[in-house]
């Protein structure tokens, strides 16, 4: 559906109308400079709709933030925290799928890493306004947000004035290019707050000198009135405030959504404008998560003192710049995407093989997959052409670089440098326990979190008994879940990978790390008493939410034409498993639930063919087996042949398949 049609349907309140999705109006894009003109494809239509591109180098020498927008011209730029006016940087353009960056203003320096944040013009999200000052007081400037204004940045473009900001939660103004405390004076705004259609300025030279030129960037605040998402009823941007408590167990901000981008500043004293985003590694663990400062030229620094949650942000550090006791902090947060239900399996799942090289880490680069994955497996299956034993590693964006889990054992989270997720395409692979030995071939299964397809959530346990609700953003009731204690595996039953599947008993479970059959003796849940929903599930605190212990859950669902969570009864010969696909399965996971059997995985990269098909086990580090024809292609799903551990007569099996 076109953007204009979606906006029309949303505004008209038409039945079944859809609003814009956050991925259509905001992007965090990572790239490495090549020294020339680079085309950045982030799927944001800047040519038609207009907007702002905010670029910053992450590595190399310190350098300015760059601001380019359609109103002042894509070939012009302003620098932050530099206070100089608008500069003509020559070549540069906005396209229907992104923009171009060039070396003339330092945006593509060879081998330097960059981030760009793109804000597209859209009602209830973002607008750009330029105006020429007339020296009157008050002066009203129109805008097109059509809702509450959350945050405004104003810069005089013909002079070296400061970058001034307004925020809905505090009185007065701030200065974007330094760390100064908030100024309580309202004179810049003529003592008038913005409305849904205009903002007001005085005749001060910073905002309205006669014949001076200005640009204003306006960011919305959605308060249960956003018209985004498939049903045009979701919020995607929040601007608010919190009060620090000086504790490592800091405040929790309820946004009503999981954020992907977060900027905040202490207003009741000096403090930087700190910016986190999940693409660069903002994650759930303290100390892991690079930030940039809008008020500084500095490159990235690692010091995450805040974490994203399924419903907002948790402050977990007593540092004065993040959580000073009694201090006031303002923030702006943007919702994580995608909001759209995927329409193609290739947009959310990839299977790739790669061969490690030699030298310093990371040694291995996964071939392009066309999207930024959120988690994945890496297993070494060959070494110099021979099938070898290797461990099944999982790496996850939410838990950060340098964190990994093994699915074949109860061990706690390790520090193998598995995935570096700070890329807008396939991640880099580090040394997963020797997975990058020279000559090693790795198989990678990579997932993107998306509504109705899969999700990942983390939490910290709170008690030793009873049941606890865990929020998630799958958007439908989970049909399968894998849950793991990340930092404790004693007693052993607390360290196992608990597996929920819709076709098990109400309190039935499997262990991903063993071949054991379904059990109910140590349940992690009881869905008859605590049913799961499209936004939360319940876990037994004794097993899966024990006090102060960290957990992670991977959630899966069936999505027409894309994925299937199901079960079947073996017939001892051969049978077709219909998943509702049209071109067969690329990934198939099968486990017997009546008697002990392994967790078998086949994929199309290594071969789901009319012949022998290599398979691996998630619960074992045994070598790849490619000597048997246990699975065959079938357009609607897959065909399972006569194999006792996947099709024994009268035995029940669960499966998960991706088209």
Flag the least confident range among 5-9, 95-99, 415-419, 499-503: 5-9
> CB–CB of 297/63 below 8 Å?
yes
> CB–CB of 545/553 below 8 Å?
no
Mean pLDDT along residues 472-491: 94
Per-residue model confidence (pLDDT) at position 438: 64
Per-residue model confidence (pLDDT) at position 16: 47
Is residue 534 over pLDDT 90? yes
Question: What would the pLDDT profile of 587-634 be if each residue is shown by its tens digit?
Answer: 999 999 998 899 999 999 999 999 999 999 999 988 888 999 999 999
For residue 467, the number of C-alpha atoms closer than 13 Å in the C-beta half-sphere is: 16
Q: Supply the DSSP string of 150-206, one letter for each residue.
A: EEEEEEESSS----EEEETTSSSBEETTS-PPPB---GGGTT----SSEEEE-S-HH
Per-residue model confidence (pLDDT) at position 357: 56
Flag the least confident range among 1-10, 117-126, 262-271, 432-441: 1-10
> CB–CB of 653/592 below 8 Å?
yes
Is residue 351 over pLDDT 80? yes
Mean pLDDT along residues 551-556: 98
Per-residue model confidence (pLDDT) at position 425: 80
Rounded-to-integer distance, Cα 334 and Cα 240, Å: 12
pLDDT band at 326 (very low <50, low <70, confident <90, very high): very high
Best CA proximity match to 444, nearest among 393, 403, 506:
393
pLDDT band at 15 (very low <50, low <70, confident <90, very high): very low
Flag the least confident range among 28-32, 66-70, 417-421, 437-441: 437-441
> CB–CB of 596/516 below 8 Å?
yes
Rounded-to-integer distance, Cα 414 and Cα 418, Å: 10
pLDDT band at 463 (very low <50, low <70, confident <90, very high): confident
Is residue 428 over pLDDT 80? no
Q: Give the distance from CA 547 to its chain's centroid.
A: 27
Is residue 84 over pLDDT 90? yes
Measured between its terminal Cα atoms, the distance across the chain in Å is 24
Mean pLDDT along residues 529-540: 96
Best CA proximity match to 629, nearest among 618, 621, 640:
640
Q: What's the whole-model pTM score?
A: 0.94
Per-residue model confidence (pLDDT) at position 303: 77
DSSP-based three-state secondary structure for 246: coil
pLDDT band at 344 (very low <50, low <70, confident <90, very high): very high
| Residues written for the chain | 659
Alpha-helical (H) ranges within 57-138 are: none
Per-residue model confidence (pLDDT) at position 3: 40
Is residue 141 over pLDDT 90? yes
Enumerate residues 6+ apart whose C-beta is below 8 A from 122. Answer: 20, 24, 25, 49
Question: What would the pLDDT profile of 157-197 be if each residue is shown by its tens digit?
Answer: 999 999 999 999 999 999 999 999 999 999 999 999 999 99
């Amino acid at each position: 559906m076109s953007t204009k049609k979606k906006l029309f349907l949303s505004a008209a309140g038409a039945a079944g109308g859809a609003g814009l999705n956050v991925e259509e109006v905001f992007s965090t894009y990572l790239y490495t400079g090549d020294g020339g003109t680079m085309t950045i494809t982030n799927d944001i239509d800047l040519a038609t709709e207009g907007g702002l591109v905010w670029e910053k180098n992450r590595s190399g020498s310190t350098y300015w933030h760059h601001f380019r927008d359609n109103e002042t011209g894509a070939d012009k730029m302003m620098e932050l925290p530099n206070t100089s006016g608008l500069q003509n940087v020559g070549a540069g353009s906005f396209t229907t799928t992104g923009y171009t960056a060039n070396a003339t203003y330092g945006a593509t320096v060879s081998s330097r890493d960059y981030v760009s944040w793109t804000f597209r013009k859209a009602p209830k999200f973002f607008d750009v306004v330029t105006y020429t000052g007339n020296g009157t007081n008050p002066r009203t400037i129109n805008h097109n947000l059509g809702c509450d204004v959350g945050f405004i940045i104003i810069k005089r473009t013909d002079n070296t004035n400061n970058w001034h900001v307004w925020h809905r939660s505090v009185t007065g103004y701030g200065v974007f290019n330094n760390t100064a405390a908030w100024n309580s004076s309202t004179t810049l705004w003529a003592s008038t707050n913005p409305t849904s259609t205009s903002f007001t300025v005085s005749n001060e030279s910073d905002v309205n000198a006669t014949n001076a030129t200005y640009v204003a960037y306006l960011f919305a605040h959605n308060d249960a009135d956003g018209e985004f998402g498939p049903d045009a009823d979701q919020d995607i941007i929040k601007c608010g405030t919190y009060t620090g408590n000086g504790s490592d167990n800091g405040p929790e901000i309820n946004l009503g959504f999981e954020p992907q981008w977060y900027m905040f500043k202490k207003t009741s004293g000096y403090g930087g404008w700190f910016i986190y985003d999940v693409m660069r590694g903002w994650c759930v663990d303290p100390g892991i998560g690079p930030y940039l400062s809008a008020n500084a030229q500095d490159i990235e620094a690692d010091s995450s003192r805040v974490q994203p949650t399924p419903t907002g942000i948790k402050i977990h550090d007593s540092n004065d710049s993040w959580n000073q006791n009694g201090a006031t902090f303002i923030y702006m947060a943007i919702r994580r995407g995608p909001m759209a239900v995927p329409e193609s399996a290739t947009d959310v799942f990839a299977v790739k093989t790669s061969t490690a090289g030699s030298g310093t880490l990371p040694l291995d680069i996964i071939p392009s997959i066309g999207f930024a994955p959120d988690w994945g497996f890496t297993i070494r299956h060959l070494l110099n052409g021979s099938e070898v034993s290797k461990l099944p590693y999982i790496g996850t964006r939410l838990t950060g670089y340098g964190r990994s889990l093994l699915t074949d054992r109860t061990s706690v989270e390790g520090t193998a440098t598995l995935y570096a997720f700070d890329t807008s395409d396939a991640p880099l692979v580090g040394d997963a326990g020797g997975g990058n030995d020279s000559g090693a071939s790795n198989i990678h299964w990579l997932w993107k979190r998306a509504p109705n397809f899969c999700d990942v959530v983390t939490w910290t346990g709170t008690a030793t008994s009873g049941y606890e609700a865990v929020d998630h953003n799958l958007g439908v009731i989970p049909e399968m879940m894998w849950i793991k204690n990340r930092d404790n595996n004693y007693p052993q039953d607390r360290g196992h990978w608990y597996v929920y599947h819709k076709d098990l008993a109400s309190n039935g479970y499997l262990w991903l790390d063993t071949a054991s059959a379904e059990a109910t003796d140590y349940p992690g849940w009881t869905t008859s008493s605590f049913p799961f929903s499209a936004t939360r599930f319940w876990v037994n605190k004794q097993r899966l939410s024990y006090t102060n212990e960290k957990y992670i859950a991977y959630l899966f669902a069936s999505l027409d034409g894309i994925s299937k969570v199901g079960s079947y009864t073996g017939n001892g010969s051969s049978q077709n498993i219909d998943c509702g696909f049209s071109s067969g399965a690329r990934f198939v996971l099968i486990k017997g639930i009546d008697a002990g059997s392994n967790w078998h995985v086949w994929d199309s990269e290594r071969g789901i063919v009319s012949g022998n098909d290599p398979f691996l086990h998630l619960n074992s580090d045994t070598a790849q087996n490619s000597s048997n024809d246990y699975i065959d292609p079938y357009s609607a799903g897959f065909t399972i042949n006569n194999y006792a551990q996947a099709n024994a007569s009268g035995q029940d099996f669960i499966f998960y398949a991706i088209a």
